[in-house]
């Protein structure tokens, strides 16, 4: 009896460790769901929106201008930030705020990127703390998951901020009936 209990316990622990390792690898190398808070990315990402951040682009150095990324905060390593990539290494970027009369420019150093929020008047970004190292990037935001009453809406974020009006397929999953419906919607993107 003790031998059977010990074998079942050992088997359970083995499966738990195995699935834990698979989950860790999936979250570390494939992607994860992230809840965003704060007004810095409004109207693209509103506070308490849930986004999916994929990690493959970071590992393959495929981050481009216009991508929305999740990165570690340069001030607090326990906190993540969600910003848009404005400049890559070697790019000339405007380092002054939107209300400054005289505009100043700087070059992004090698191995760094320049981040800014879409809500320039209410965002702490690279204009405050400078360019951040590429190593602080956690992942690139692929899509946003919106909760609306009993449904979940999933749609792709625009890759570039200069697209005025884009059409995306919205996948609606009705949580009560478990049926899948496809809807089409337009997403307004700020200039």
Question: Domain with 108 in it: what CATH number?
Answer: 2.10.109.10
Residue 183 lies in a domain: no
**What pLDDT digit, counting tens, does each position of 96-131 carry?**
777 778 888 889 999 999 999 998 888 888 888 899
What pLDDT band is residue 72 in, cutting at 50, 70 and 90?
very high
- The model's pTM: 0.68
pLDDT value at position 31?
86
Average pLDDT for 25-50:
86
Residue 90 lies in a domain: yes
In the predicted structure, residue 161 carries a pLDDT above the cut 90 = no
Residue 3 lies in a domain: no
- Among 57, 83, 126, 144, the one annotated catalytic: 83
Residue 81 lies in a domain: yes
Q: Annotated catalytic, 40?
A: yes
Residue 165 lies in a domain: no
Phi, psi at 92, each rounded to 5°: -95, 125
Domain extent, residue 83, equals 33-148
In the predicted structure, residue 188 carries a pLDDT above the cut 70 = no
Residue 169 lies in a domain: no
In the predicted structure, residue 156 carries a pLDDT above the cut 60 = no
What pLDDT band is residue 71 in, cutting at 50, 70 and 90?
very high
Average pLDDT for 41-67:
86
pLDDT value at position 83?
93
- Report d(CA 40, CA 123) in Å as an integer: 4
Quick one: which H or E segment has residue 51?
Answer: strand 50-54
Residue 25 lies in a domain: no
What pLDDT band is residue 140 in, cutting at 50, 70 and 90?
very high
Based on the structure, what is the number of domains in the chain? Answer: 1
Higher pLDDT pick, 146 / 50: 50
Average pLDDT for 32-52:
87
- Report d(CA 72, CA 48) in Å as an integer: 18
Mean pLDDT of the chain: 77
- Report d(CA 92, CA 106) in Å as an integer: 6
Q: Annotated catalytic, 83?
A: yes
Quote the tokens at residue 15.
Answer: 């499966």
Quote the tokens at residue 122.
Answer: 């209410």
């Amino acid at each position: 009896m003790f031998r059977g209990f010990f074998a079942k316990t050992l088997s359970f622990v083995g499966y738990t460790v195995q699935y834990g390792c698979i989950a860790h690898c999936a979250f570390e190398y494939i992607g994860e769901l992230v809840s965003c808070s704060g007004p810095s990315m409004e109207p693209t990402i509103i506070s308490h929106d849930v986004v999916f951040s994929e990690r493959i682009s970071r590992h393959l150095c495929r981050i481009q201008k216009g991508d929305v990324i999740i990165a570690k905060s340069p001030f607090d390593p326990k906190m993540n930030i969600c910003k848009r990539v404005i400049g890559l290494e070697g790019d000339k970027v405007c380092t002054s705020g939107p209300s400054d009369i005289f505009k100043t420019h700087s070059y992004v150093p090698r191995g760094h990127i320049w981040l800014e929020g879409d809500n320039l008047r209410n965002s702490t970004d690279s204009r405050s703390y400078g360019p951040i190292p590429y190593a602080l990037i956690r992942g690139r935001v692929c899509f946003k998951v919106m909760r609306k009453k009993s449904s979940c809406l999933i749609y792709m974020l625009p890759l570039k901020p200069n697209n005025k009006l884009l059409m995306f397929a919205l996948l609606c999953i009705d949580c009560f009936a478990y049926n899948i419906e496809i809807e089409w919607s337009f997403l307004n993107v700020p200039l």
